[in-house]
Structures are given as structure tokens and as C-alpha cells.
Amino acid sequence: MDREIVKRIVDEAREGEAKLIVWDRRDTFTVEPSAEISAEEDYLLVRMEDGKASVYVEYGQIYKLVVEKEKIGRQGQRAGFGAVIS
């Protein structure tokens, strides 16, 4: 996945104070709005639990990112961005 696309999605999640769900080749994990996220040169860096845990995900390993907005009343919206790698 392209760094600029990842950066745009991270910014959208941060501005909306939304959760970011990351799918990579090995796992799927949810990043809470309070976590520190940065789009570095070759990887996405997520620092969680007040800096106790750091996750490095190479852009080439990410195949889907979803910004999950808060659910109010009924089902919330999901805006997903994915890349198909051949």
C-alpha cells in the first residue's frame, strides 16, 4: 500500500477520533483513537498502551485499512481502503 494513502487514512482516523482497523499478512488489529500513529518512510508505526507496546507494519504487508467511526444509535459507518497486490 502506498505511504501517501496510508497517511491520508491515518489523518482521517485521527481527525475523526475514530478507531483504525489494520489488516496485514499476519494479523488484524484495532488501533484505539488514543494510540500514537505515524506514517514513517517504510512502515506504519503504532505506539499503544502509553508507549508500552509498539507495532511496526511495512506498507507492503498492509492490504486493508478501515476507519471505524463511533456507532450512534444504529450501525456506524465504515470507510474502507484496500489494495490488491498481484
Non-local (6+) Cβ contacts of 4 within 8 A are: none
Residue 67 carries which side chain, given as an amino acid letter? Answer: V
Cell triple for residue 74? 444504529
In this predicted structure, what is the pLDDT of residue 80? Answer: 60
In whole angstroms, give the CA distance from residue 64 to residue 8: 14
Condensed to tens digits (0 to 9), the pLDDT of residues 45-61 reads: 999 877 788 999 999 99
Condensed to tens digits (0 to 9), the pLDDT of residues 65-84 reads: 999 987 655 555 565 656 55
Q: Where are the domains of the chain?
A: 3-82
Q: How many residues does the chain have?
A: 86
In whole angstroms, give the CA distance from residue 26 to residue 34: 24
Look at the domain 3-82 and name its fold.
Answer: SH3 type barrels. (2.30.30)
- Whether 86 shows a pLDDT value over 80: the answer reads no
Cell triple for residue 17? 477520533
